[in-house]
Structures are given as C-alpha cells and as structure tokens.
Amino acid sequence: MNNTFNLHRFTLLLKRQWLEFGKIFLITLLVATGVIVAFYGLTLLPLEELGYVSRRLGFREPLFFIFGFLFISIIASSYFAHLGQKSKAIIDLLIPASTFEKFLAGFFFTSILSVLAFILIFIITDWAFIAYIKSYFKTGNVKELADVEMFFNKNDINSFAPLYLAPFTVTSVFLLGSAYFNRFHYIKTAICVMLFSGAWTYIVMNSVEAILSNKTPINRYSHGKDTMEWVLFAIIALFTLVVFSITYVRLKEKEV
C-alpha cells in the first residue's frame, strides 16, 4: 500500500472533510455573497444618472481585493482550527489517510476552492448588477460601463505578476496559523502577519536606504515587466512554498 498518496483515499478524504468543513465553507460563502450584494445595492441604488453610476463603480477594486482577502483568510484560518481541540483532533488524526493527503485536502479547500468560489460569486454579482443597470438606462451610452470581463482584463497578468500569487500566499499563511495555534487562530495569525511584515518593511527600507543612498537611479522610466517584478514574484513564490512546507511539518508533528 502506498502510505503517502493514493488517489482513492484522497477522494474519500475530500468527501469526508466536506461533510464537516463544507458547512463552515457554505455559510461563510453565503455571508460573503450577502455582503457583496449589499455593497453593490447600497452604493449604486437607487439608479439616478448613468455618469454617476459609472464613476461610482470604482469601488469594485477595493471591494474585490479587501473582501477577497478577508474571505480566503477566514476560510483558511478555520480549516485546521479544530485540531486545537483534543476531542476533535484525536478522531481526525487517526483517520487512515496520510498526513500528506490531509495537508493536500487543506490546500484544496482553502487555496483552490475558496479562491475560485469567491471569484465566482464576485463575477455573478457584478454581472447581475451591470446587466440590471444596462437594462435600466436603455437610452444612455451603456458601452462606457465596464462589465466584469473588462474588470478582470484591466487587472491582468501584464499589470503586476506577483498579484497572482497573493491568494496562495494569504491562504498559506492563514492555513499555517490554523494548524499552529490552538485557539484564536485568526487574531493570532493576523497579529503575527502585522509584526512580521512590519519588521520586514523596516529591514527592507533601511537596507535600501543603506545600499542606494547617494546613487542615481537609471532606467527609471522603463515600462512593462522588468526583472525586479520577476524577482519579487520568485521571492513571494518561495515564501509561499516555505510556509506551506512548515504547515505540512506542523501537521505531521501535531500532538494531542
């Protein structure tokens, strides 16, 4: 028997995890949908003037990013949370699946399913509102109204590649938090992230200051992708992988 990965066992595990985690997931998703709909409704309705509506749609980016971050981080920080409770952890740890499969199931539900689910509800809500607005202003020039397709096109990979790693980085960090802490996973993880990123920023700023002071920048106005962007991409990718590996090790060493 393969004691590390077996597809049949893995699908069984996904089904089993869904039975319990699915409830938290669906409820969170429902709340998220409600909040997004409410946001659109309160900001745009009642519809008065097309130009006004067009300008107001600027809230979409912050809503997508801030709320998306909240959604995936909350989901991720609840996935392994129950392992902090003895009564739940014993039964879960003893389920005959490998630690790798248990970790992979966590990755699937948090980094993949939750991200996809959020994008989906965002697209549907946005599409529905834009369609409604378009049908409302039959006479106006509705073409100027950016629909959801355009929303995603203008934020494509050419603009900033590391952005595409963000969902994985965020979920990896909060998944680790959920496996690492026994209680108050979200708060503790958030505080750690703040401290860590604060320290990191401080170090980077100071080292940049030290290295680059009194030097003249060249190639300052180059457009498109530069190497720095890809270096950043690589660093973030590496960071994410490291966090995921720590989560796996932490899961392997979890004791009750």
Partner 1 sequence: MIKIENLNFSYSKQRILFKDISMQLSNGHIYGLLGKNGAGKSTLLKNLAGLVYAQSGKIDVFGFDPAKRQPAMLQQICFIPEEFHLPAIKIDSYVKANAAFYPHFDHQYFADLLKEFDIPVGQKLIDMSYGQKKKVIIAFGLATNAKLVIMDEPTNGLDIPSKAQFRKIMASALTEDKCIIISTHQVRDLDNLIDTVIMLDENKIALKATVEEVTEKLCFKRVKELDETVIYAEPSLAGYNAVMANYHQEDSKLDMELLFNAVLTEKNKLKPIFN
Task: Choose one: 47-55, 69-77, 80-88, 213-221; the region binding partner 1 (CB under 8 A).
Answer: 80-88
Under the binding rule (CB under 8 A), the answer on residue 87 touching partner 1 is yes
Residue type, 163: L
CB closer to partner 1, 16 vs 134: 16
Q: How many residues does the chain have?
A: 256
* Contact between 9 and partner 1 per CB under 8 A: yes
Residue 156 main-chain phi, psi, to 5 deg: -80, 180
Q: Is 97 in the site for partner 1 (CB under 8 A)?
A: yes
What residues between 193 and 212 interact with partner 1 by CB under 8 A? none
Q: Is residue 75 within 8 Å of 102, Cβ to Cβ? A: no
Q: Where are the alpha helices (DSSP H) in the chain?
A: 7-44, 50-56, 60-62, 68-79, 86-93, 99-107, 114-136, 148-154, 166-180, 185-212, 227-252
CB of 83 to partner 1, least distance (A): 11
Tell me: does residue 27 bind partner 1 (CB under 8 A).
no
Which residue type is seen at 119?
I
Q: Are 110 and 76 in contact (CB under 8 A)?
A: yes
Tokens of 99: 């630690």
- Shortest spacing between CB 96 and partner 1, in angstroms: 4
Q: Which of 7, 20, 22 is nearest to 98 (CA)?
A: 7
User: Among 146, 117, 131, which Cα is nearest to 32's?
Assistant: 117
182 counts as binding partner 1 under rule CB under 8 A: no
Q: State in angstroms the smallest separation of the CB of 20 from partner 1.
A: 5
CB under 8 A: which stretch of 31-39, 83-91, 164-172, 225-233 binds partner 1?
A: 83-91
Instruction: Rule CB under 8 A: say whether 1 interacts with partner 1.
Output: yes
Q: Which residues bind partner 1 (CB under 8 A)?
A: 1, 3, 6, 9, 12, 15-16, 19-20, 23, 82, 85-88, 90-91, 93-99, 252-253, 255-256
